[in-house]
Structure 1
């Protein structure tokens, strides 16, 4: 996973801690983006990457 998709921990901008569900949603979105990018680079079409 690239550095820009990894959420930063702590810092002055964090007003309150994120809930577990929000963290999981952000991680899943980043994972999906990475997988889509990988599919494009590998030359797979969307239909080929779908399970039957």
Structure 2
């Protein structure tokens, strides 16, 4: 958990965290679970590639 949110003295958001936030938002909007998981995996992969 520490590697997801912290890097020494600075706050860092990991790609997994972006995926989790997206899943929570999509589930709140009542999107089907399968689509939520696909969107989260895609988001995590893209954010991981960018950073």
Higher relative contact order (CA 8 A, sep 6+): 1
Instruction: Give the structure with the higher percent strand.
Output: 2
TM range (shorter): 0.3 to 0.5
Instruction: Give the structure with the higher percent helix.
Output: 2
State the TM-score, normalized to the length of structure 1: 0.42
